[in-house]
Amino acid sequence: MNDKFDKQGKPLTLKEWAKLLENSEYKRVAETTLPNGKWVSTVWMGLDHNFGGGKPLIFETMVFKNGDEEDVERYSTLKEAQKGHKIMVKKHSN
């Protein structure tokens, strides 16, 4: 069973995944610094974080304030990750 995928969901070998993981431009989906000091970061992880089965979760949005994690959400597709980033920005803009 493969647990490594590129941004389009294509399975990767360990070597292919590791090479992409070194590319910060490839990993970054979006980042937003909010006026309230929170930082919203959405990245491609490439490694399936859906440990209960189902669609691979290979993207992640995290919200930080003063270096502390405040919120997290994971996604299966680039489109979901981009939409999720916008939702997190709106949710944490208060």
> What is the average pLDDT value for the chain, to the nearest integer?
95
- Cross-strand partners of 44: 59
pLDDT score at 44: 98
| Residue 75 DSSP SS3 | strand
User: How do residues 37-78 score in pLDDT, each as one tens digit?
Assistant: 999 999 999 999 988 778 999 999 999 999 899 999 999 999
Q: What is the pTM of this model?
A: 0.93
Residue 20: is it exposed, middle or buried by C-beta count within 10 angstroms (0-12/13-18/19+)?
middle
Tell me the residue type at 31: E
